[in-house]
Amino acid sequence: MDGMYAYSNDPVNWTRYAQNPIIPNGNPNNQWDGLQVMTECILDEGDSYKLYYTGDNGPNMDWQAGLATSKDGVNWNKHANNPVYSGAGA
Q: What is the pLDDT of residues 28-52, one digit of tens each?
A: 777 888 888 888 899 999 999 999 9
Confidence of residue 1 (pLDDT cuts 50, 70, 90): low
Beta bridge partners of 23: 3
* CA 43 vs CA 2, 37, 46, 67: distances in Å: 19, 17, 9, 11
Are 65 and 85 a contacting pair, CB within 8 Å? yes
pLDDT value of position 80: 93
